[in-house]
Amino acid sequence: MQTAPYKAPSDANHWRRLLFSNLTAILTGLATAYLRAYFERSNLHYETIASCFLILPAISLILAFTARRLPILAALTWLMLEVLLVYVFFTLSFWLLYLFLVPSEAILPVMLKAMAICWLVSALVSAIIIALLAKFRPPILGPHCRGCGYCLIGLPSNRCPECGRTFTDQEVSLKDLILYAPSLQGVIPERDKSPMRNVDFGDNC
């Protein structure tokens, strides 16, 4: 009997998000420090305003809209940490380069206060977006967890390893044989010869 091809779930997209956001934060911090040190013309620092009120909030919004589907508390916790990392990397890169370029100016205390306020605002807006997405975003159809969207093909049990939510065969529109790992397929009795067994879900699973 032909079954759907088994593909192990991957967290590559999650790590790509973190790499993109943190690398962008570092580059933004370096560029802001350089511009502030060499092109300062007044007490109004346009480069810092652009970074704190445009670029960093934009990164936070991207993280919110591309976050993994997890139970709301876990999703909020991970998002707060991801946004915090963005502001930490920006602050460190800015401060280290600016300290090297203008060692006489003690900018760190003021910068830490400003970054704390910016992080709180970004975290609050991102949390609201996550809550709205969890409420209005339609569930993923097929062999995916209804709680977080994790691919369920190849699992050793009927519990999602990502969020811990249990599921039934009917809930994911498939039977046991296609969901469990290939090593267990000979042990689990076949209960249905559904044509869904022959479906290739491509890169989603």
Domain spans of the chain, in order of start: 12-136, 140-205
Which DSSP string corresponds to 17-69? Answer: HHHHHHHHHHHHHHHHHHHHHHS--SSS-HHHHHIIIIIHHHHHHHHHHT---
Whether the pTM exceeds 0.85: the reply is: no
Q: Token digits for 83?
A: 């946004």
Residue indicated by tokens 């190849």: 154
pLDDT tens, the chain, 205 aa long: 344 433 433 456 778 888 999 999 999 999 999 999 888 666 778 898 999 999 999 999 999 988 877 677 878 888 999 999 999 999 999 999 999 998 888 888 888 999 999 999 999 999 999 888 877 776 555 577 766 767 777 777 778 887 777 877 666 655 544 555 444 444 444 443 343 444 444 444 5
